[in-house]
Structure formats: C-alpha cells, structure tokens
Structure 1
Amino acid sequence: KFLAAVPASAFFIGSLIGSAIYGRLADSILGRKKSLILSCLLTSITGFLTSLSANIWMYVFMRFLNGLTRSGIGICCLVLATEVIGRKWRGQVGQYGFFFFTVGFLTVPLIAFYTKTSWRSLHRIMAAFPFVYSLLILRLVEESPRWLLVRGNKTQALSVLAGFARRNGKTLPTDLQLLDPNFSTNLVNNVRADTPKMGLWECRWARIRMSIAMVAGFGVGFVYYGIQLNVENLNFSK
C-alpha cells in the first residue's frame, strides 16, 4: 500500500512546486497564453514518457514531473478566463471551468475501463489530450489584455479588446485610453497623480484576504483529494 501511494504523492508534490513556477512565469516573461501552451505540451510529453517507465521508482519520478508540468494549466486557464470578465460575472465564469474538471474526472474511469489490460495505454491516451489542447489554444485563445498592458504593450492590448468587442457585435470607443495597472490613479486638485501600487504582501487587507483564501483552499483540497485518494479504503460493502 505504501508503494501504491507514492506515485500519487509525488504527483501532488510536483503540482505544488509547479504552481509557484508557472505563477511566476505567467506574470513575468511568458504571459498567460504561452505559459498555458508550455504547460500543455510538457504535460503531454511527461505523460507519454510515464508510459515508458521500467520500474516503480522511474514511474514515481515521471509522475512527479507530470505534476510539475501540468500545474500551469489550471492557473493560466482561470486567469485567462477571469481577467477579461467584468466584476459582475467574474465569480460565475471562474466556476464554469470546474464543470469541465469534473467531466474529466468522470471520463478517466471510462477510458481506464477500455484500457484495463495495459496501464501504459491509458497514459498514452491521456497524454494526447493536452497536446490537442495546446493546438486549440494557439489558434483560439488570446493573450490577457491586462498582462499585455502591464508589459507596456498597449497597442496589442487594444487589438485584443477590439477583437472581443467585434465578436460581441460592438466597437470600442475611438478615444479609449488604457491606464497602466502598475500605477494607481488618484485625483488631487483635479490633476491625475500616478503612484506605484503596493505589492500583495505589503497591503494589510490583501495579506488578510490572501491568507484566508490559502487556508480555505488548503482545507478544501485536503478533504477533496483525501477522500478521492482514500476511497479504496472505504468499506461500502459493509
């Protein structure tokens, strides 16, 4: 039972480390879209390589790498989906992605049923999905206008927003100006004063909210994945 649990533990340890890495990449040099494509491609590669494992410890290592590489998918998808949505609908849109998360969980047992004679085939089939997703993202998904603006690319940010407006049958105002989100805008004597925004952990209310969210997220994840991974030990037949 110990060896059976090690691959899953390695996967989640990799996910924990990968979340920090992809969060940094998505906010800095790569942006949300490129980080998402990179995560999908690496997830596909490590998933396929997992099927070639020669022993349990190689399998554990590949599961660790798979968790490390796939963690950027959830992060970047959520940010890409919510950064272009107004405050009114942001909460609902953020939840819609989890419907597909659930569909994925329900699909895996179905695929596993038809590949029950070969766990290697299961990993190879699962590795194909993120590769296909990367191709769809490359063609259909736009970079976050907010990230483009933060990086100083106002022209491309306006182009992305114009595309969104066009798909909704609208046009952007000709005099539209985008403010740099790196600065907060205050009006002092009717004169705009730009001051740099404080960092997340430098602002007291942000620290409190983030700490509460982290504790709540840990609790939910602990219960959710704890039940999922321990379901084989639940004696439903008794």
Structure 2
Amino acid sequence: MIDFRSTTHSPTRFITGLPASSFFMGCLLGGLVLATLADSTLGRKNMLLLSCLMMSLSSFTTVFSSNIWIYSALRFINGFGRATVGTSSLVLATELVGKRWRGQVGRKEEAVKTLKSMAANALTSSFSNVLVQQESMNDNIYTSIKIMLNKEWAAQRLAAVMATCFGIGMVYYGMPLALGNLSVNVYLGVTLNALFELPTSLITFFFIGKINRKDSLLGFTILSGVCSVLCLVMGRVRPSLQIAMELISFFSACGAFNMSLIYTLELFPTCVRNSAVSMTRQALVLGGVFGPLLVAAGRKNDLISFGVFGIVIGVCGLPLIGLPDTRGGTICDTMDEEELKQNQGAAAATPTLV
C-alpha cells in the first residue's frame, strides 16, 4: 500500500480503503451470483472447487500488481470467489453420501423393481399402481431463491435470519475496528479480542447438541447489544471497565455469528439450504460494510459507534421470536416435506375435544 500511494494523487484515506472495499463488494456480488449455482447447475463440490481456484489465481496474480487499480480489481475477484467457500463447505459437510448410493438419484424405475423383488407376492400388485414421474428441473440459477420467496413461511424465515445476521455482522466486523476509540492500548485490545474469539468456537462445538438454537442466538444478540451500550456508558463513568464490556459484547457477537449459520442450516430444507445460508452470509457481510463507517464517525462521538452497534444488534435479533427452534428436529429435503412437518406439528399442538 505504501508503494501504491506514491503512484497516485488520490487522497490517502481513499487509497487505504479501496482494496478492502473492493474485497467486500466482491463478496457481496459473488454471494448473489454464485450462491444459487451450488443448488442448481454446478453443485456444492464443483462450486467449492471453482471458488478455491478463483481465490488461488487472484492471490497469486496480486504479486504482479503494478498499481492500486489492478490490485483493487484482483481483491474484488478474490472476494468474488471467497463468497461461497464457507457456505458450500458447511452445506457439503452435512450432505455426505456413501459410495453405495452415489449416482442413484433419480433412478425411480429401478427403485420400484427393487421393492417388488423384496416384497411378498401378495404385496407386489400394489406397486403396479405406483406412478413414477421424473421431477422437472428448472435451469434458472435463481430457482432456489424464487422457491423460498414463493413460500410465505420460507420468506418470513429468510427475512428474519437475514435481519438478525445484518446486526451480527455489523458488530462482529466493526467492533474490533472500534478499539482505537477506547481508552485502552490498541495492541492489547486486539490481542484480547482474538483470545476471546477462540473460546466461542469451542463452546459451540461442545455444547451445540445441548442448547436451543433460537434461544441461544436471541440471548447472544441481546447480551451483545446491552454490553455495547454499557461500553459507551462506562467510558464516561468508569473507563477501566470499558474494555471488559467491549470484550463481552464481542464474545457474544462471535457466538451469535457461529450460531446463526448453524440455525439457518437447520431451518431450511436441503433443496434451498445453500441459497439460504448464502443469503444470510450476505447479510453478515453487508453489516460488516457499515461497521467501518460507524467506527470512523465515532472517533469524535462514541455514541455513533458503540451506541449504534448495541441498538442495531439488539433490535435485529427480535425477529427471531417468531421462528421455531430446530434442536432435535429432522432436516427435510424438499419444501413439501417441510410443510408437511409443520402441518403435523400444528395438528399435534391443537387440543382435541373428546
């Protein structure tokens, strides 16, 4: 970056922020363009391979950048490929299929023949009336998003988790940048933030099977918001406790970050899961775009940074109240199966008159 500054007459602040902004813009655009390809045309594995290839080539070519504009363009391409790596890996890890069943999807006639050979003679006649119909696939890459938007319950779930992830992303990406606004050594603050981020992953790994997803995510967002506001208050009352409130707020945001991806993964059926997780990831990145702006504006007034952080993540977590919890539930493959599970749950919850 120092070498690039000498090759242009643009303001230093613009030059410093251009590559980072290009990377985040690439993440946003890549998530919109590439996300649905994993659910439709390319699939999870091919999309992951393509993303890694784009990141590798763009990173290697960065060495030969001669000016800031080429460097920023390569950072944009790197972010474009980076957008689907996390979501494709996460979804692919939950859809592992044994070698025995690979390549068997869609071969319904052979499935019926196998059932006939296994069933008793008295039951084979019932298979003659089985209608085998191949589902028509739409080649439109945005089919998954259209399917979710056409279903009211899916659209409500997607809007709720995206709103929550927007607030989480703003705090997760913006809070470490705001350490320079606190009355504490910046290097010490960055070190403590890094040390506090590691336990959140371990806690999620060991306790994910014992805690409710929705309640935990809602609790993390509220705690992060409250501590962020308290960080603002402590700066005026007791500055020594300001860093403690910041660490608790960031710790809660990290826990909410991990829990939001797991909750979204279990909230949507397989046919649209990759697109749903990608859209929530987009909301996280979009929140991260606004974080640095608030930090820069908050250098003269902490209310603009920590105050807004606390209010946004707290308010954005409220839509989770209307969503179901997914702990211990079955993960469906299609939208029809998910609707059937909802109807069965509603029927079971309805009291019957004797």
Say whether residues 1:20 and 2:225 are aligned partners: no
Aligned to 1:9: 191
Report matched runs for 1:1-238 at 5 Å. Answer: 3-28=185-210, 30-54=211-235, 57-139=240-322, 141-144=323-326, 147-149=327-329, 165=339
Q: Which runs of 5+ in 1 are unaligned?
A: 151-156, 173-238
TM-score for the superposition, normalised by structure 1: 0.54
Deviation per CA, 1:116-175, whole angstroms, max 9, x where unpaired?
421244201110112112321112x2211xx2348xxxxxx99xx999517xxx967xxx
- For 1:50 and 1:163, locate their aligned partners in 2 and report how far apart those are by CA, in whole Å: 46
Q: Which runs of 5+ in 2 are unaligned?
A: 1-179, 345-354
Is the Cα–Cα contact under 8 Å of residues 15 and 69 in structure 1 kept in the other structure? Answer: no
Residue 60 of structure 1 deviates from its aligned partner by 2.8
Counterpart of 1:83, as a letter, is E
- Alpha carbons of 1:68 and 1:120: their partners in 2 closer, same or farther (altered >3 Å)? same
Which segment is superposed worse, 71-80 or 60-69? 60-69
Counterpart of 1:58, as a letter, is L
- Equivalenced residues, count: 158
- For 2:218 and 2:271, locate their aligned partners in 1 and report how far apart those are by CA, in whole Å: 29
- For 1:16 and 1:98, locate their aligned partners in 2 and report how far apart those are by CA, in whole Å: 20
Is the Cα–Cα contact under 8 Å of residues 50 and 63 in structure 1 kept in the other structure? Answer: yes
The structure whose residues are more often strand, as a share, is: 1
Is the Cα–Cα contact under 8 Å of residues 231 and 242 in structure 2 kept in the other structure? Answer: yes
Is the Cα–Cα contact under 8 Å of residues 43 and 69 in structure 1 kept in the other structure? Answer: yes
- For 2:205 and 2:310, locate their aligned partners in 1 and report how far apart those are by CA, in whole Å: 23
Identify the structure with bigger relative contact order (alpha carbons < 8 Å, sequence gap 6+): 2
Is the Cα–Cα contact under 8 Å of residues 15 and 68 in structure 1 kept in the other structure? Answer: yes
- Alpha carbons of 1:19 and 1:42: their partners in 2 closer, same or farther (altered >3 Å)? farther
- Alpha carbons of 1:149 and 1:96: their partners in 2 closer, same or farther (altered >3 Å)? closer
Is the Cα–Cα contact under 8 Å of residues 225 and 314 in structure 2 kept in the other structure? Answer: yes
Residue 99 of structure 1 deviates from its aligned partner by 1.1
Q: Secondary structure at the match of 2:185?
A: helix
Is the Cα–Cα contact under 8 Å of residues 213 and 263 in structure 2 kept in the other structure? Answer: yes
Of structures 1 and 2, the larger Rg is shown by: 2
Deviation per CA, 1:169-193, whole angstroms, max 9, x where unpaired?
x967xxxxxxxxxxxxxxxxxxxxx
